[in-house]
């Protein structure tokens, strides 16, 4: 019995055949689809994070460039900066006023509008319209609506005999007024996400509960909400991150006032980086804000963690 020797030219082709399997082809095609997102995140997200971490260790400005290496001095100064901590407090208050109200309203609207009817489709479109509207335009319009003399809101209050209110010029009302505007602006986004989660829950669970005599609020508490935990986690985490990044409404409507009552952390970073030309300290505050966001997001994901599968 004779054996036919395998030529060396056949080995590369057999290696490529083993490598280029249908499974690996699918992986390669999937990688090509996510490659633009990887490039986008690498250039516009990850590289700026490393650049900010490097800049936080230097005396750096956009006009003067890198000057002296200061190490952790910016972080030491940050620990004693009362305005930094006040800005973080204002940001936390904004998140607490906006995110829970928005999630609760979006959950209620998603439950009410999940049926596919013409009227519900019109209402969903109306609620989602502010999401795709420019936040600059929305901020300008709401600033005019909040006007103490000529604003629409005060005109409605006057029609019901309620005295005219000062919103954006009052230190106690400016931040709640801005939170109400941003809830209206972002409500449609979270509503659509929750509605998609509701449609993903199998109908058999609800039907079985109805057969067993469960009331609507019992179905919501024991079936719908547990199966929506992952969706709610996504909504809460993303809206918290978006709320920490709130800048345009503050810049357009209040410039951080009155009495720094709306000076969120991103606006304070903007002031130091672009107005005071201290980009090193602004970068240090950005790094700390990122770490705070990571910790908050991890806590939220742990609270919403679930092992329920459907």
Contacts of 116 (CB under 8 A, 6+ apart): none
- Provide the pLDDT for residue 12: 56
Q: What are phi and psi of 164, to 5 degrees?
A: -65, 140
First-residue to last-residue Cα distance in the chain:
60
Rounded to whole angstroms, the Cα distance separating 178 from 172 reads 11
- Provide the pLDDT for residue 310: 47
> How far from 144 is each of 64, 97, 116, 141, 166, CA to CA, in Å?
39, 22, 36, 5, 12
Other C-beta atoms lying within 10 Å of the C-beta of residue 165: 15
User: 201, 193, 233, 248: which is closest to 220 by C-alpha?
Assistant: 201
Span 207-211, mean pLDDT? 85
Beta-strand (E) ranges in the chain? Answer: 58-61, 65-69
Other C-beta atoms lying within 10 Å of the C-beta of residue 96: 13
Q: Would the pLDDT of 308 be above 80?
A: no
- Provide the pLDDT for residue 237: 94
Q: Which pTM value belongs to this model?
A: 0.86
Three-class DSSP category at 257 = coil
Q: Which CATH architecture has domain 82-303?
A: Orthogonal Bundle (1.10)
Rounded to whole angstroms, the Cα distance separating 271 from 277 reads 8
The tens digit of pLDDT for each residue in 17-51 reads: 677 788 888 888 999 999 999 999 889 888 999 99
Instruction: Return the domain boundaries, the chain.
Output: 82-303
Phi-psi region of 255 (alpha: psi -120 to 50; beta: other; left: phi over 0): left
Average pLDDT, the chain: 89
Rounded to whole angstroms, the Cα distance separating 138 from 144 reads 10
The tens digit of pLDDT for each residue in 235-291 reads: 999 999 999 999 999 999 999 989 999 999 999 999 999 999 899 999 999 999 999
Q: Would the pLDDT of 214 be above 80?
A: yes
């Amino acid at each position: 019995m004779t054996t036919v020797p395998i030529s060396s030219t056949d080995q590369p082709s057999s290696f490529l055949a083993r490598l280029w399997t249908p499974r690996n082809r699918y992986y390669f095609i999937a990688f090509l689809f996510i490659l633009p997102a990887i490039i986008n995140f690498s250039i516009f997200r990850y590289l700026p994070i490393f650049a900010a971490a490097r800049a936080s260790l230097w005396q750096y400005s956009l006009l003067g460039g890198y000057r002296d290496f200061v190490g952790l001095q910016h972080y030491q100064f940050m620990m004693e900066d009362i305005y930094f901590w006040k800005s973080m407090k204002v940001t936390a208050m904004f998140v607490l006023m906006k995110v829970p109200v928005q999630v609760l309203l979006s959950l209620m609207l998603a439950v009410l509008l999940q049926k596919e009817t013409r009227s519900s489709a019109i209402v969903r479109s109306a609620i989602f319209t502010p999401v795709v509207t420019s936040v600059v335009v929305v901020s300008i319009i709401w600033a005019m609506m909040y006007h103490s003399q000529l604003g629409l809101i005060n005109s409605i209050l006057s029609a019901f005999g309620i005295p005219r209110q000062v919103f954006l010029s009052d230190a106690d009302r400016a931040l709640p007024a801005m939170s109400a505007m941003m809830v209206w602006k972002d409500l449609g986004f979270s509503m659509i996400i929750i509605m998609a989660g509701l449609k993903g829950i199998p109908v058999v669970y609800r039907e079985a509960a109805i057969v067993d005599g469960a009331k609507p609020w019992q179905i919501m508490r024991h079936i719908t909400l547990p199966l929506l935990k992952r969706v709610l986690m996504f909504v809460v985490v993303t809206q918290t991150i978006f709320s920490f990044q709130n800048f345009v409404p503050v810049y357009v409507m209040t410039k951080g006032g009155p009495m720094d009552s709306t000076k969120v952390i991103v606006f304070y970073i903007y002031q130091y980086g672009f107005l005071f030309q201290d980009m090193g300290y602004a970068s240090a505050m950005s790094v700390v804000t990122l770490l705070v966001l990571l910790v908050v997001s991890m806590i939220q994901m742990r609270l919403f963690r679930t092992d329920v599968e459907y």
